Amino acid sequence: MKPAPQSAPAGAAKPRLTTSAMIASIASEGQRTKPAPFGHALNALASGDARIVGMTADLGKYTDLHIFAQAHPDRFYQMGMAEQLLFGAASGLASEGFTPFCTTYAVFASRRAYDFIHQTIAEEDRNVKIACALPGLTSGYGPSHQATEDLALFRAMPNMVVIDPCDALDIEQAVPAMAAHQGPVYMRLLRGQVPLVLDEYGYTFELGKAKMLRDGYEVLFISSGIMTMRALEAAKALEADRIDVGVLHVPTIKPLDTQAILAACAKPGRLVIVAENHTVNGGLGEAVAGLLMREGVHPAYRRIGLPDEFLAAGALPTLHDRYGISTEALCTQVRAWLK
């Protein structure tokens, strides 16, 4: 059941937030950001590789592909508001030797065009790269724009590589890695002013690799996407409570870096918390749980993710608090679990 809209009590100090723009930046106030990392990285890649073409279904401006379209107008294909055509045509271009980078919103790729991606791209093993904005709960527009199942759907698709990047650095390094991989890739996309976080951790993106960003003996977050940013913030905040928190960032959901995850989870006495900006069904949490079960590694395990329900419309900070994926909500849950 959908929760009823919550109205602020009269005289409350906290102002009632309004639903932000559909494409609201997920950067918090004062956070360091980089503009359009995907578009700029694709430009850099394309200048050295004539096979790269860009395609979109009427969402070039909202996926930062307009940066590429402006720089390479002859290599940009506007397919109109037609996602099935977008992916079918991408398969055709790939079969002729090109490397299409296709953009739309994650909801439309994962739900509307799933069979086209499944049959014309994954089954035929075409070299198509799919980059999709508004992953998980990054839009206040309600279920029409909230791609809460995309990771589960694309994880289930044979041949498909699945990436959930955390920040601008992750994205700009993932783009050339996607191109270097022969075969279909799905990447969740953050666009516009994208937070820059991972440069502080000596991090580099490697396809298929999880990276320990900070170690901690009491709690280990295993996280992907923006939840890694939240986990890092929570880890810092929990230092005040003298709780020592590690963060293992898993930007590649498939293939999973089983070795790194097993090694991190084998460390005794540490609470493992998988945190994902995705429904708790079928995403990173269940992938990690299944791995641990199969391999007989049994740490204390908790999960943080979006509930199995249609989420509400509203302002993102409100929704992230409500559904337990804000930094504050992470801290609250960790404290409760450690009691």
Partner 1 sequence: MSTASIGHNISLERRAWNIRRHALLMGEVQGQGYIAQALDIADVLATAYFHAMTFRPDEPDWEGRDRFLLSNGHYAIALYAALIEAGIIPEEELETYGSDESRLPMSGMASYTPGMEMSGGSLGLGLSIAVGKGLGLKRKNSDSRVYTLFSDGELDEGSVWEAIMSAAHYKLDNLIAIVDVNNQQADGPSTAVMAFEPLTEKLEAFGWFVQRVDGNDLAAVRDAFDAAKAQMGSGKPSMIIADTLMGKGVPFLEAREKNHFIRVEAHEWQLALAALDERKPS
Q: Which helix (H) or strand (E) holds 170?
A: helix 168-180
Closest CB to partner 1 among residues 35, 80 = 80
| Peptide bond before residue 37 is cis, with ω within 30 degrees of 0 | no
Contact region with partner 1 (CB under 8 A), list: 73-81, 188-196, 240-248, 289-297: 73-81
**C-alpha span between 223 and 308 (Å, rounded):** 19
Contact region with partner 1 (CB under 8 A), list: 72-80, 260-268, 269-277, 297-305: 72-80
Q: How many residues bind partner 1 (CB under 8 A)?
A: 27
82 touches partner 1 (CB under 8 A)? yes
**C-alpha span between 44 and 288 (Å, rounded):** 34
Please give the residues from 97 up to 156 whose contact with partner 1 meets the rule CB under 8 A: 97-98, 100, 115-116, 119-120, 123-125
Single out the catalytic residue among 29, 83, 96, 239: 83
Could you confirm whether 239 is annotated as catalytic?
Answer: no
Strands (E) in the chain, as ranges, are 33-35, 52-56, 76-78, 99-105, 129-133, 161-163, 185-189, 193-195, 211-214, 219-223, 245-249, 252-254, 271-279, 301-306
Calculate the alpha carbon distances from 282 to 113, 154, 305, 323 in Å: 19, 10, 11, 17
**C-alpha span between 253 and 156 (Å, rounded):** 11
Site for partner 1 (CB under 8 A): which residue of 27, 41, 67, 79? 79
x/- binding map, residues 25-54, to partner 1, per CB under 8 A? ----------------------------x-
Residues interacting with partner 1, by CB under 8 A?
53, 77, 79-80, 82, 84-85, 87-98, 100, 115-116, 119-120, 123-125
* Active site (catalytic) residues: 83
